Chain A
Amino acid sequence: KAGVTQTPRYLIKTRGQQVTLSCSPISGHRSVSWYQQTPGQGLQFLFEYFSETQRNKGNFPGRFSGRQFSNSRSEMNVSTLELGDSALYLCASSLDPPGQETQYFGPGTRLLVL
């Protein structure tokens, strides 16, 4: 079974631009979560979607948004990019809303904001 895929793998943007990242979960998984990884802040939870609904949200500004489609694929969008948004963005999927279920991670999208 194919794992979680994320596109693109690398991205360079400039301040003020916006960016959209894509995540395809493992087949059959309906929950998708997003995390930001930076050297300074570590791994931080952004949000989670289940059945096209946002079920949980971390402490990020409104510039960070996401959505989930009927096939469980998810996108996250960051508007008005700032230098501090440079990070590895990781997507994870799980079979059900992740309570006890394990989250499986994709390889990440590395975003550099110049």
Chain B
Amino acid sequence: GDSVTQMEGPVTLSEEAFLTINCTYTATGYPSLFWYVQYPGEGLQLLLKATKADDKGSNKGFEATYRKETTSFHLEKGSVQVSDSAVYFCALINTGTASKLTFGTGTRLQVTL
């Protein structure tokens, strides 16, 4: 079945550091890929998405490129802020299981001054 693998956290960075959170997936067909963010005590917010190979999703300085050849969708940001501290989830939705989002385990990011 479909699966998403994320790098283990927590990731601790100083403000203005470069961020990479790795995400790889296993799926049949042509899934759409997503990054969601969860702040403490809240639900999930869509951060960015990509629906086909080589698409780049971007939002609020975060970027991720859909790489079919490496089945990856790594999240990057050039300069993190304390306010970026949250848990980040990589997810996919497959046309074969149309309504089901499959999530990774989440990566907690802690940004310090």
- Residues of A with Cβ closer than 8 Å to B? 4, 6, 31, 33, 35, 42-43, 45, 48, 50, 55-56, 58, 90, 92, 97-100, 102-108
Contacts and interface: CB of A to CB of B under 8 A. Distances in A.
B79 interface: no
Contacts of A104: 46
The 10 closest A-B pairs by CB, nearest first: A48-B99, A43-B103, A105-B44, A99-B98, A56-B99, A107-B43, A105-B43, A45-B100, A108-B43, A98-B99
A33 B51 CA distance: 20
Interface of B: 32, 34, 36, 42-46, 49, 51, 89, 91, 93, 95, 97-106
Contacts of B105: 42
B103 A102 contact: no
Prevailing SS type, chain A contact patch: strand
Given A33-B101, A45-B102, A98-B101, 13 more contacts: A35-B101, A42-B103, A42-B106, A50-B99, A55-B98, A58-B100, A92-B101, A98-B98, A102-B34, A103-B46, A103-B101, A104-B46, A105-B45
A49 to B, nearest CB: 9
Given A90-B44, A100-B32, A105-B43, A31 B99 contact: yes
B49 A102 contact: yes
Contacts of B98: 55-56, 97-99
Contacts of B43: 4, 6, 90, 105-108
A45 B39 CA distance: 20
17 contacts: A6-B43, A33-B99, A42-B104, A42-B106, A43-B89, A43-B103, A45-B100, A45-B102, A48-B99, A50-B99, A98-B98, A98-B101, A99-B95, A99-B99, A100-B32, A100-B51, A103-B46
A94 to B, nearest CB: 8
B93 to A, nearest CB: 6
B48 to A, nearest CB: 10
Nearest to A3: B43
